[in-house]
Amino acid sequence: MGGGFAALRGALETAFDKVGWTGVEIVDVPVEVPDGGLDPVDILCPMGSTISGALMDATTPRMIQQFGVGLSGVDLPAAQERGLPVDNVSGAVSGNAVAVAEIALLHLLALLRRFEEARANVSKELVGEPSGRTLAGRTVGVLGVGDIGAEVIVRLRAFGAEPVGIGRRPRAETPRAAALLDDAHFHRVDDLTAALACCDDLVVACPLTDETRGIVGTAAFDALRPGGHVVNVARGPVVDKDALTAALRDGHLAGAGLDVTWVEPIDADDPLLAENVAVTPHVGGVTDTSYAGIATGFVASVERHLGRHVE
């Protein structure tokens, strides 16, 4: 389902072929049910789109399987009412977490080194401008210390930065966080503003839930040290868009890097893009290694739930 993610089809076809599945057809399904209805499918894959109860009824799937981790677009109560299994693919096992962590660092480094200005200065024949800032020595908050957040922390350390993890559960109940961070560098989400008060920058890597929707808002931005940056590789609505725009316009934030936006694709004329905002089109997990791993996990999940073959 959904537009974009062109490499998905090929990755899935390859993964199904490897295990000897035959007759698998991958089709696009519209989010809105047309008047004429829809043909039935065996598996619905959201890929960033919304799967409603109405869509489930129109396509009568046997399961819902995400190509990746996020299930925020799936009406889980509706699936439960219909007895539909819903599954995703672990970011740690597939390699997706590593890929997304890499793009988080790409955004943060590009903002600190003022990459867009540097590129523009090539055409202006300016040498030695602009002056940037080093990541080494900066304190970076990481909101969400699951698979992706943990990989971000590992990479921040490699650059000489000081990561501060912010998680939902106690540190002892978060294995990767417990291994990577001491108590002084770990905070609970309930303590978000206090955690950010010691941070220069913030990387958002938590799931989108009712509790996290809009959690990175005015209070969070105000808590960050002046002149910092926010990078979002989670889901757009975790960040309050109006608050982000205001923080950029008043200069408290120096810039933002977004691999996810509130509506995808983002409108090319969105006023937010007039600020110092770098956007990539949800490509954090779109690499050869990650897609191969996710596709393998996708097929394995389908086999667990539906058996060896789909009729």
**Cα(231)–Cα(108) distance, integer angstroms:** 7
80-92: burial string, b at 16+ Cβ within 10 Å, e else: eeeebbbbbbbbb
Strands 86-87 and 139-143: unpaired
35 CB neighbour count, 10 Å cutoff: 4
Q: Per the residue annotation, which of 62, 107, 185, 235 is the catalytic one?
A: 235
Strands 201-204 and 228-232: parallel
CB 165 within 8 A of CB 226: no
Helix, strand, coil share of the chain (percent; to 5): 40, 15, 45
**Cα(158)–Cα(268) distance, integer angstroms:** 35
The DSSP symbol for 51 reads B
Active site residue 311: no
Q: Per the residue annotation, which of 264, 275, 305, 309 is the catalytic one?
A: 264
**Cα(193)–Cα(110) distance, integer angstroms:** 25
Active site residue 116: no
CB 290 within 8 A of CB 4: no
Query: Phi and psi dihedrals of 48, rounded to 5?
Result: 85, -5
**Cα(205)–Cα(96) distance, integer angstroms:** 13
Q: Per the residue annotation, which of 114, 138, 171, 282 is the catalytic one?
A: 282
Active site residue 102: no
As annotated, the active-site residues are 235, 264, 282
